[in-house]
Each structure stands twice: as C-alpha cells, then as structure tokens.
Amino acid sequence: MRNHRAALATLAGAIFLTAALLFLGTDYYVEKTGSQYICSPSSVPEGEAILILGAYVFPDGQLSDMLRDRVTVGYELYQQGRAPKIIVSGDHGRVDYDEVNSMKDSLINQGVPGQDVFMDHAGF
C-alpha cells in the first residue's frame, strides 16, 4: 500500500512538472517568436487608415480590457496623425452583440469625429 501511494505521488508530480514545463515553454515560444511582429506606436508608418480589430464587448456595451487597449492605441495613432481615418472591424452578426458600434462610440467620446470612423460589421 505504501509503495502504491509513493508511485501515485511520483506520477502526480511528474504530470504536474510536465504540464508546468509545457505551459512555460509555450509562453516563452510565443513571446520570442511574436515579438518580431510587434512594433511600438512611434515606429508605425503613416497610412490611409488605422485598423482596429474587435474583441469581446460586455452585454452593457463596455469594452473588454483587450479591446480597450486596442482602441486606445488606435486613438493614439490617430492623434499622432499616422492616418486620417480609422476602421473598426468586429462582430455584429447578432442584434444583441455589437463590437463595432461600441468601438466607434468610444472613439467619438475621445473626440474623434464620427465621419473619420468607418465600421466593418462583419469582421468575424
């Protein structure tokens, strides 16, 4: 019985260690390979429009943290004059869920003129 418990404890420890290494290894890999595709806002070249991709919007219309970060960076790029227009692209495939109008409302509340924000309602 004692050997059985020791074997189970060893197996559980090995499984935990393997899972932890897999998790940390995956995190490291994504960070290392993805970092070459991320640029600072100051290094973004000028263009015709700034594209803001959608993310989750809460039922009350509030932006999720990820979406708020995206909208903030898009707004900052607009303020720096990187592009004269903003495209918000997100999910609006249901009547009760609307990422694009929530993003546009946020930008307008920050002072972006509505005519400078174009909406892609099918940006799934």
Output the tens digit of pLDDT for each of the chain's 124 residues: 678 888 888 998 999 999 999 988 898 888 888 888 888 888 889 999 999 999 999 999 899 999 999 999 999 999 999 999 999 999 988 888 999 999 999 999 999 999 999 999 887 6
The domain limits of the chain are 2-37, 42-120
Per DSSP, the three-state class of 40 is coil
**81-100 residues labelled b (16+ CB within 10 A) or e (exposed):** ebbeebbbbbbbeeeeebbb
Tell me, what amino acid is at 27? D
Query: What is the three-state SS of 41-57?
Result: HHHCCCCCEEEEECCCE
Domain 42-120: give its CATH architecture: 3-Layer(aba) Sandwich (3.40)
Q: Is the pTM of this model over 0.85?
A: no
